[in-house]
Chains A and B, each alone.
Chain A
Amino acid sequence: MALSPAWAGWLAVLGILSILWYLAGEYRWLTQYPQDWIIPLRYWISDFMRWLVREASFGLFTFRELTRAFAWLLDIPLQACLHLLAHGIVLPLGEGGLRLPPLPWIGVLSAMVYLAWRVGDRGLVILVGCSFGYLVLFGQWQSAMVTLSSILVAVPLGVVAGAGLGILAYRHRSVEKAITPILDLMQTVPVFAYLVPVLFLFGFGPVSAMIATIIYAMPPMVRVTLLALKTAPVEITEFGRMAGCTSRQLMWKILLPASRHSLMVGVNQVIMLSLNMVIIASMIGAGGLGHDVLTALRRLAIGSGLEAGLAITLLAISLDRLSKATAEYQAKPARLRGRRGPLASVSIGVGMIAILAASYLVGTAMPSLAVFPQQFAVSTGPFWDELVRLVNIHLYDYLDAFKSTLLIYVLIPIKRALMEAPWPGVALLVGFAGWRLGGPRLAVVVTLLVLFIAITGNWRNAMISVYLCGISVIIATAIGIPVGILGASSERMHRLVQAIVDTLQTLPSFVYLIPVVMLFQVGEFSAIIAIVLYALAPAIRYTDHGLRGVSPEIIEAARMSGCRPWQTLAKVRLPLAMPAIMLGVNQTIMMALSMLVITALVGTNDLGQEVYIALTRADIGHGIVAGVCVAFIAIVADRLIGAWADRRKRLLGLT
């Protein structure tokens, strides 16, 4: 039997890899990249930053003064929101100043419910009412308003900047080319890696936290804008040209309004990601709910931490649904919006302001409606603390046995094997895979990315990261895909699964990190559990989404030709949904990698830990290089899977 050249190639590469693996015992430099060969990139970056912060100058003013001025500018809207929602303001009038309290809780709550009622259905009203009611009742109001303030500033800025960049990239091909790799890095370099430079340039405090949030949350907006503009129906553009639009008019009057629906997807992403950053932002001075979660967990008050964490989740879900509903409402033709027609949007705004103003007066008369009395606040904290204690005392032995078995027979052997992986062999294998899946260009790119990790001296740490993420991704997909299939089975299941996924994605991982440590001790096992929990969401979401997207005609045809339900699933729906599912796996890998820095807080010794150590030592170069290595692992995985999914799509005739 003759081997096809592709298979022969694979065999050859695997052969070389195993020979190198075998030789690794003899030649240490194969697994441990020699110290002398390391390019001291991290020191170069640190030196450059030092120069930038201390000396760089444009003649009239220094670089640092420029960034500081920028920070000062951003501080203005942030302070305005903080005063309005959380702190109130002292006006320099009369003796000792006139103190104006912040907006009362009853007002903000009513205004939000009013908005929900106008733009959405009863479900939305209940959701928003309950969420904000929770904030009041559980004594989270003050902190929640601090968090909300930074979100209210960060989200519009992120959306506007993101859309602007997207438009620019649409207009100029060169901008698009330049911006794509930068976006990749922004989305995959762990936040901790750029926190320190941000702190140096923009000063310590809430503004820096906000800037980091914007950097983290903006990329999806750019991508979505670019995609929406590119995929706008040709007919619309043609129509605009025929009507004699200038290209500016075409953009603002036709293209952007027409793609409003897609743009909202980007807005939602910005909201969700901004709220994801709440905890990390509070580590550098943002305060608010994130700070409450951290302080509670630091004194091991798991219940209080959970309550504050849940407040973040509810805030995220409410804002997400509200923005979605608002967008859909505005997209509706005016005649369907109810009596008031085109003025409806304006009237909603007026109504909200009226409610806030009225509540301000009511709040002055009845203080308990302005500031919820502390003694009425509810807490379920002790219940959760007790629950964790009971699980710890009674179930620990079983959990421990489970953990030990898995560690000894599965995890540790895999880790050993990966630690022995020779870097030239791995680079060769990845390069060959790139060549087979996507051609010579991809092969060169991925090989260079892998070699970068080795020559900057991060090989061993990177291998531990690959091990942690690899195992977690396998477990997450093994759980997530079946759950996604379940979710696609009925509308009811779909809603249930959706709720689980939303919670998993917005509940700060720190909340479950500490109980996990209590039950599974400090170590890689706890880290893996935390990564799995976080990375599960996209695996479920995309499977569900992909299966639902299979066209009904094809399913009908399958049934006509006598397929049983499981045959339809296994032979028709799953293969057709495979590209979507692979995209989910891709996202799972991204999520897993982005969790690495969080698991560093438990105690690992991988790239995430390096980034974290660099953060605490304010070692900019080290942090950025280790962060970029994480990003490169992500990009290699992304490109390979993307190329594979494209091939499958072509084979299935989906594109």
Chain B
Amino acid sequence: MSKPTATIRTGILALASAGLLAASSLATHAQDYPESSDPIRITLHDWTGQHVTSRIMGSVLEEMGYNVEYIQADYLAQFAGLESGDLHVAMEIWETTGKDALDASLATGDTVDLGETGMEAIEEWWYPLYVKEDCPGLPNWEALNDCAELFATAQTSPKGRYLGGPVTWGGYDDERVEALGLDFEVVHAGTDAALFAEVQSAYQRQQPILAWIYTPHWAPIQFEGEWVEFPPYEDACYEDPSWGINPDMAYDCGKPRGWIKAVGWAGGEEKWPAAYEAIRNFQITNEEMGDLIGKIDLDGMPTEAAVQEWMQSNEEAWRAWVPQN
């Protein structure tokens, strides 16, 4: 009784494996990856969007047959690891916060630029929409001084309080306040968790708040608000004091918008060329990213699950990143 079924099963198995073999031999003919089974170490930082891009890229590399490891590492401290080859790929270096560190690292020759990820970093002074009722001049920056009182607290009064990002993330806010003659005091949050805790708290109470917010992030999705419109950024504004309304100082404009780039250990170029090519092909839009971040941070979906869902419904998109010889 059992014998025929067993034979049939073996037959099917044999057929299937023959097919697989054929397919894989075809595949190896066209593409020679994975070139090495050593794990590619992708860094994870402390914001959700970065986890999403890293996991998407990691999943694609796994589909290509590579071994992938995720390592928690600090955004700026990781460059030491990338240069030494302890870490291999970092998916998100923002022009707005990490350009100097990236340039310094690329200059050592131990890391390589893996291209832009398609997302655009936006960061600027931000307020919740309800503030507009009391300060109708917004979003024009010139209205800020008239409303400084509105944003004041006991410590900063009569000046307004502007909650800036962590000191290490740069941004020249103290210089901006001085250059534009704003009646505001910059208070730096220590981490973005602290920053958004305060924004959420003010939003719950519908109280005025002026804070530094960036996107892609869940905050601008959850909280209705607008970015302040400063004189638009130009390179000259940061470099040339005579540019703009304040003839004596630079930084009299808004913040630059910028690319988000992937960067990798230079040695990987030879070790996993196909993987590096796939990473260079990585593309995702702000909208897609915002959608994923919303699912994870606001609806509490696990990152892995959200990434898997994205992988399933966007197969065509990520297949296109995989190099075809």
Give, as a whole number of angstroms, the nearest-CB distance from B76 to chain A. 5
At the interface, yes or no: B81 with Cβ under 8 Å from chain A?
A: yes
The residues of A that contact B46 with a CB separation of less than 8 Å are 283, 294, 298
Give the residue among B46, B86, B191, B192 with the most A Cβ atoms within 10 A. B191
A412 to B155, CA, bound (A): 9
Interface check B188, CB cutoff 8 A: yes
B233 to chain A, nearest CB (A): 24
Contacting residues of chain B (71-93) with chain A, CB-CB under 8 angstroms: 71-81, 84, 86-87
Measured between beta carbons, the chain A residues less than 8 angstroms from B87 are 204
Contact A199 B80 (CB under 8 A): yes
| Contacting residues, chain A, for B75 (C-beta < 8 A) | 616
Are A518 and B201 interface neighbours, CB within 8 A? yes
A647 in contact (CB, < 8 A): no
Q: How far is the CB of A78 from chain B (nearest CB, A)?
A: 15
Within 8 A of B (CB), among A611-641: 612-613, 615-618
- The distance from the CB of A40 to the nearest CB of chain B, in whole angstroms, is 20
Which chain B residues lie closer than 8 Å to A294 at the CB level? Answer: 46
Q: Given A407-B155, A617-B76, answer yes or no on A203-B190 (Cβ-Cβ < 8 Å).
A: no
- Does A609 count as interface, using CB distance less than 8 angstroms? yes
Please measure, in the bound complex, the distance between the C-alpha atom of A602 and the C-alpha atom of B197, giving whole angstroms.
10
Partner of A522, one of B154, B168, B194: B194
Residue of B nearest to A406 (CB): B154
Q: For this complex, into which size category does the number of interface residues on chain A fall?
A: 35 or more
Give bound CA distance, A232 to B187, whole Å: 55
Bound form: Cα–Cα A601–B193 in Å:
8
How far in angstroms is the closest Cβ of chain B from A533?
16
| Contact status B168-A517, CB under 8 Å | no
B4 interfacial contact with A, CB 8 Å: no
B102 → A minimal CB distance (Å): 13
Whether A108 is near chain B, meaning CB under 8 Å from some CB there, is: no
Nearest Cβ on chain B to A288's Cβ, whole angstroms: 11
**Bound-complex Cα distance A404 to B153 (A):** 8
Determine if A396 and B74 form an interchain contact, defined as CB atoms under 8 angstroms apart.
no
Q: In the complex, which residues of chain A have a beta carbon less than 8 angstroms from the beta carbon of B84? A: 53
Q: Which residue of A lies closest to B73 (CB)?
A: A204
Residues of chain B contacted by A539 (CB below 8 angstroms) = none
Interface centre among B47, B72, B166, B167 (most CB of A within 10 A): B72
Once the chains bind, are A204 and B154 in contact (CB under 8 Å)? Answer: no
0 or 1 for each of B165-181: is its CB under 8 Å from A? (1 = yes): 01110000000000000
Q: Tell me whether B234 is interfacial, beta carbon within 8 Å.
A: no
Provide the bound-state CA to CA distance between A412 and B157, in Å: 13
* Residue contact A299 to B197, C-beta cutoff 8 Å: no
Q: Is the CB of A204 within 8 A of B218?
A: no
Map CB proximity to B onto A491-532 as digits: 1 under 8 Å, 0 otherwise: 000000000000000000000011101110111000000000
Contact A616 B47 (CB under 8 A): no
Q: Which residues of B contact A519 (CB under 8 A)?
A: 201
Contact among A196, A400, A517 with B197 in the assembled complex (CB-CB below 8 Å):
A517
Of A204, A291, A396, A517, the residue contacting B86 (CB under 8 A) is A204
Minimum CB–CB distance from A278 to chain B (whole Å) comes to 13
Inter-subunit contact A514/B72 (CB<8 Å): no
Whole-angstrom CA separation of A515 from B218 in the bound complex: 19
CB distance from B26 to the nearest CB of A (A): 22
Q: How far is the CB of B211 from chain A (nearest CB, A)?
A: 10
Residue of B nearest to A297 (CB): B193
Whether a CB of chain A sits under 8 angstroms from the CB of B96 is no
Whole-angstrom CA separation of A372 from B275 in the bound complex: 37
A199-B194 in contact (CB<8A): no
Query: Which residues on the A side are within 8 Å of B205 (C-beta)?
Result: 392-393, 396
Which residues of B in the span 123-157 have a Cβ within 8 Å of any Cβ on A? 153-155
Q: Specify the main secondary structure of chain B where it touches its partner.
A: mixed
Against B, the Cβ 8 Å flags (1 = close, 0 = not) of A190-201 are 000000100110
Any A CB within 8 A of the CB of B113: no
Residue among B80, B163, B192 having the largest count of chain A Cβ atoms under 10 Å: B80
Question: What is the total number of residues of chain B having a CB less than 8 Å from a CB of chain A?
Answer: 48
Cβ of A188 under 8 Å from chain B:
no
> Is the CB of A408 closer than 8 A to any CB of chain B?
yes
Query: B193 near A204 (CB under 8 angstroms)?
Result: no
CA distance A612 to B190 in the complex (A): 9
List the A side residues contacting B193 at CB < 8 Å. Answer: 297-298, 300, 514, 601
Which of B77, B155, B187, B189 touches A616 (beta carbons < 8 Å)? B77
CA distance A522 to B101 in the complex (A): 27
| CB neighbours of A613 from chain B (8 A) | 167-168
Chain B, 39-90, CB within 8 A of any chain A CB: 41, 43, 46-48, 71-81, 84, 86-87
| 8 Å CB contact of A602 from B48, B76, B189 | B189
Choose from A53, A205, A298, A604 the contact partner of B190 (Cβ within 8 Å).
A604
A600 on interface, CB distance cutoff 8 Å: yes
Partner of A285, one of B72, B163, B167: B72
A602 touches B190 (CB 8 A): yes
Whether B200 contacts A285 by the Cβ 8 Å rule is no
In whole angstroms, how far apart are the Cα atoms of A600 and B167 in the complex? 11
User: Is A99 an interface residue, CB under 8 A from the partner?
Assistant: no
Residues 77-101 of A at the B interface (beta carbon under 8 Å): none
* B297 beta carbon closer than 8 Å to chain A: yes
Contact of B194 among A282, A285, A396, A603 (CB under 8 A): A603
> Would you call B196 an interface residue if the criterion is a C-beta within 8 Å of the partner chain's C-beta atoms?
yes
Interface-centre pick from A200, A521, A617 (highest chain B CB count, 10 A):
A521
Q: From residue 272 to 325 of chain B, which have CB atoms closer than 8 A to chain A?
A: 296-298, 300
Taken residue by residue from 21 to 58, chain A's Cβ proximity to chain B (1 for < 8 Å, 0 otherwise) reads as: 00000000000000000000000000000000100000
In contact, A408 and B197 (Cβ under 8 angstroms)? no
Given contacts A204-B86, A299-B297, A301-B300, contact A389 B204 (CB under 8 A): yes
Which of chain B's residues have a CB closer than 8 A to the CB of A599? 190
A615 to B74, CA, bound (A): 9
Given the known inter-chain contacts A196-B77, A298-B47, A403-B154, please indicate yes or no for A514 contacting B168, CB distance below 8 A. no
| Interchain CA distance A196-B78 in the complex, whole Å | 10
A204 touches B78 (CB 8 A): yes
Question: How far in angstroms is the closest Cβ of chain B from A66?
Answer: 15
Least distance between B92 CB and chain A CB atoms (Å): 15
Instruction: Decide if B182 is an interface residue (CB 8 Å cutoff).
Output: no
Given A298-B47, A393-B205, A609-B190, are A408 and B73 neighbors across the interface (CB < 8 Å)? no
Is there a chain A Cβ closer than 8 Å to B229's Cβ?
no
Query: In the assembly, what is the distance between CA of A522 and CA of B192, in Å?
Result: 11
Contact status B74-A522, CB under 8 Å? no
CA distance A599 to B191 in the complex (A): 10
| Min C-beta distance of B289 to chain A, whole Å | 15
Q: Is the CB of B73 within 8 A of A601?
A: no
Q: Are A521 and B73 in contact (CB under 8 A)?
A: no
Chain B nearest CB from A411 CB (Å) reads: 9
Q: Given the complex of chains A and B, what is the CA–CA distance between A515 and B71 in angstroms?
A: 29
Judge whether B204 and A393 touch: CB under 8 Å: yes
A517 partner, pick from B74, B154, B194, beta carbons under 8 A: B194
B168 and A617 contacting across the interface, CB-CB below 8 Å: yes
3 closest A-B pairs (Cβ-Cβ)?
A404-B154, A285-B72, A518-B201
A-B contact pairs, 22 of them (CB 8 A): A199-B77, A200-B80, A204-B73, A204-B81, A298-B192, A298-B193, A299-B48, A300-B197, A392-B204, A392-B205, A393-B204, A404-B155, A515-B197, A521-B201, A522-B189, A601-B190, A601-B191, A602-B190, A602-B194, A616-B75, A618-B74, A618-B79
Beyond A283-B46, A609-B190, A616-B77: 20 further Cβ-contacts under 8 Å? A204-B72, A205-B71, A298-B193, A299-B218, A299-B296, A396-B201, A403-B154, A408-B154, A412-B155, A514-B194, A517-B194, A518-B201, A521-B201, A523-B155, A601-B194, A602-B189, A604-B190, A613-B167, A616-B74, A617-B101
